[in-house]
Amino acid sequence: MYGNDFSEPPEQPGARSLLDQVADAERDLELAAQQDRPTGTEDDYFMAVIAADQKIEPRDWMPEKYRKNLIRQIAQHAHSEIIGMQPEGNWISRAPTLKRKAILLAKVQDEAGHGLYLYAAAETLGVDRAELSDMLIDGRQKYSSIFNYPTLTWADVGAIGWLVDGAAIVNQVPLCRASYGPYARAMIRVCKEESFHQRQGYEILHVLSHGTPEQKAMAQDAVDRWWYPSLAMFGPPEGESPNTAQSMAWKVKRFTNDELRQRFVDMCVGQAEILDLTLPDPGLVWNEAEGRHDYTQPDYDELFRVIKGNGPCNRERITHRKAAHEGGQWVRDAAEAYAKKKAKVSA
């Protein structure tokens, strides 16, 4: 009744194995915690923990660059959850049935929860959430490029669930094994809910593509518009991604952008067939020799334009966030003043 109550969706190739990988990562994390920790000082200890696939914890020494890199990545991840509430939130008021409205509202609420969870993980690295919020608003930190695209029809809500959340999961499942413990644990929790969201999106598209001709056209149009921005979510190709090599050595990242993008394409092709929808790439063909699909790369010039702030909705997204944050200052001030008064009374 309260949202997540839809019946079993049609078969969705690849979805189960992703969840299995999350479960595996969770089990390995528990096993690693039971092992003895390496001995050594500072850098030796740090490298030994990572080599043993154990987790670096907030109390541990870590290289300053590792800390900074993680703050950047986790904060960007948290910001993406928060900004990501806007494109979908845009359709809560107009969802076509009460059940869909409830599911969407629950999903957007989950995103706020993920943001909170990730900010908490970032704070274990010695940074303040308020500071991260400011850095988002004044553009010093980024969020995922995908949320700078507009949600023009209801089918976009389905396409975001299927493609955007799908890409996010493919990206995040390996992060369940990231070497930094709080991040890995956050990812395990987030991935479980995200995979539910992805199923919901897939189900929305499935209903539309098997509905009236207008609904089917709406679904196809949404997939046509969201396919390439979703592929671009994995970031620039090999060689143009400045952080990849170091992140992989530190076992924060486990795969390159291109490897994950390929995995996503291979997963989507079978799902698109069941949806009876076309992926907008005439170059998309099965490559028997390589055991994977060949596909046309996204327009990376467009990706860089969007990352630099010139996508369709960048200004709108930040203006919205800024208005909420600044417009709420008097409320946060009130809560603080009240808490101080109460502390004084009880002291």
Partner 1 sequence: MNAELATADLNLGDDALIAAQRLAEWTSRAPELEEDVALANIALDLLGQARMFLSRAGDEDELAFLRTDRQFTNVQLVELPNGDFAHAIVRLLFFSAYQRELYTAMAGDEIADKAIKEVDYHVDHARLWTLRLGDGTDESHARAQAAVDELWPYTHELFEGNDLRAGWLAAVEPVLAEATLTRPEDGWAPTGGRQGLHTTHLSYLLAEMQVLHRAHPGATW
The footprint of partner 1 (CB under 8 A) covers 1-3, 82, 85-86, 89, 92-102, 105-106, 108-109, 112-113, 115-116, 119, 154, 204, 207-208, 211-212, 214-215, 320, 323-324, 327-339, 341
Residue with tokens 């079978």: 270
Identify residue 274 by its one-letter amino acid code: I
Spatial separation of the C-alpha atoms in residues 256 and 180, rounded to whole Å:
18
Q: Among residues 4 and 21, whose Cβ is nearest to partner 1? A: 4
The token pair that represents 47 in the structure block: 């490298």
Does residue 158 contact residue 202 with C-beta atoms inside 8 Å?
yes
Residue with tokens 């500072």: 42
Q: Among residues 47 and 92, whose Cβ is nearest to partner 1? A: 92
Report, in Å, the least distance between residue 341 CB and partner 1. Answer: 7
Q: Among residues 31 and 324, whose Cβ is nearest to partner 1? A: 324
Report, in Å, the least distance between residue 180 CB and partner 1. Answer: 22
Q: Within 10 A of 139 (CB to CB), how many other CB atoms are there?
A: 11
Report, in Å, the least distance between residue 323 CB and partner 1. Answer: 8
Report, in Å, the least distance between residue 187 CB and partner 1. Answer: 19
Burial 90-119 (b: 16+ CB within 10 A, else e): ebbeebeeeebbbbbbbbbebbeebbebbb
Spatial separation of the C-alpha atoms in residues 57 and 182, rounded to whole Å:
7
Report, in Å, the least distance between residue 15 CB and partner 1. Answer: 22
Q: Among residues 2 and 59, whose Cβ is nearest to partner 1? A: 2
Report, in Å, the least distance between residue 175 CB and partner 1. Answer: 21
Q: Among residues 86 and 195, whose Cβ is nearest to partner 1? A: 86
Q: Among residues 26 and 194, whose Cβ is nearest to partner 1? A: 194
